Amino acid sequence: MSSLADKISIIINRELNKEQNINQYRKPLVGFASAHDPLFAKMKELIGPHILHPTELLPQAKTVVAFFLPYSKYIVQANRNSTGVAKEWAKAYVKTNKLIETICLELTEELRQQHVIATFQKATHNFNKQDLTAPWSHRSAAYVAGLGTFGLNRMLITPSVCAGRFGSIIISAEIEPTPPPKEEYCLYFKSRKCRFCINNCPVGALTENSLDKQKCYVHLLATAKKFPKLGFCDVCGKCTVGPCALMG
């Protein structure tokens, strides 16, 4: 790993450790992609023309840094065992969105001191409420940065878990890309042996071939109303607490 890659990982770990007072996270994962990886251009075909290329956000872009903050066993089990969405899961969502922003702001500032320019997009709530798409996809960026494989639940599953949240930041310095994973992490795609996510969706939004995004979103908004004191927490995640939630 180059020294800049090390520095980035140290900052992410440092900021996460400041928040570790309630045992909320496991070890973060960090991956690097070339901003000129052909997959970024291909995303306009795969996802849609609204998806921005890294150079549309930062003309000098050389690297996309993606990171994953995996929830602890405690948070996953709370949401696995509760009838509705667990309060712990809702709290973790609000807190992690803020933490991702803090990490990106810290990275931007500390990289600036090394004459590296950086830019980033919020962890969420930057999407079009009608078609439920965002101009920048963190999980697609993380996929290109070698952090995981897509599961039947539509989540990006990393070597350790899929329960957690992604952030990404585009920078003007070059860092060697992370190689893609050598294996498939979703048990359905691996051996057809799991359908936990489909069976555990409370509103039947997930099938083998599709996700009814609007159905899911209506349910997330209903959950937000249940925890008015936590801040806006449009969450559920019942499809992300199966066997792929706690692998590492």
Binding-site ranges for ligand SF4 (CB under 6 A): 151-153, 186-188, 194-197, 201, 203, 205-206, 216, 219, 236-239, 242-244
Collapsing DSSP to helix, strand or coil, 137 comes out as coil
149 interacts with ligand B12 by CB under 6 A: no
Question: Is 107 within 8 Å of 169 (Cβ atoms)?
Answer: yes
Ramachandran angles phi, psi of 208, nearest 5°: -60, -35
Is 207 near ligand B12 (CB under 6 A)?
no
Q: Is residue 237 within the footprint of ligand B12 (CB under 6 A)?
A: yes
H-helix or E-strand containing 89? helix 87-112
The site map against ligand B12 for 88-107 (x = CB under 6 A) is -----x--------------
Shorter beta-carbon distance to ligand SF4: residue 12 or 75: 75
Please classify residue 202 by burial: count the beta carbons closer than 10 Å to its beta carbon, then call 0-12 exposed, 13-18 middle and 19+ buried: middle
Shortest distance in whole angstroms from residue 93 CB to ligand B12: 5
Q: Does 195 bind ligand B12 (CB under 6 A)?
A: no
25 binds, among ligand SF4, ligand B12, none (CB under 5 to 8 A by kind): none
How many Cα atoms occupy the beta-carbon half-sphere of 147 within 13 Å?
A: 31
Which residue among 240, 241, 244, 246 contacts ligand B12 (CB under 6 A)? 240
Q: Per CB under 6 A, does 156 bind ligand B12?
A: yes
> What does the block give as tokens for 161?
């878990």
Q: Which is nearer to ligand B12, 120 or 173 (CB)?
A: 120
Nearer to ligand SF4, 112 or 213 (CB): 213
Please report whether residue 124 would count as binding ligand B12 according to CB under 6 A: yes
Distances (CA, A) of 120 to 42, 49, 57, 136, 247: 20, 19, 8, 9, 29
126 touching ligand B12, by CB under 6 A: yes
Distance CA(177)–CA(15), nearest Å, equals: 23
Contact criterion met (CB below 8 Å) for 63 and 162:
no
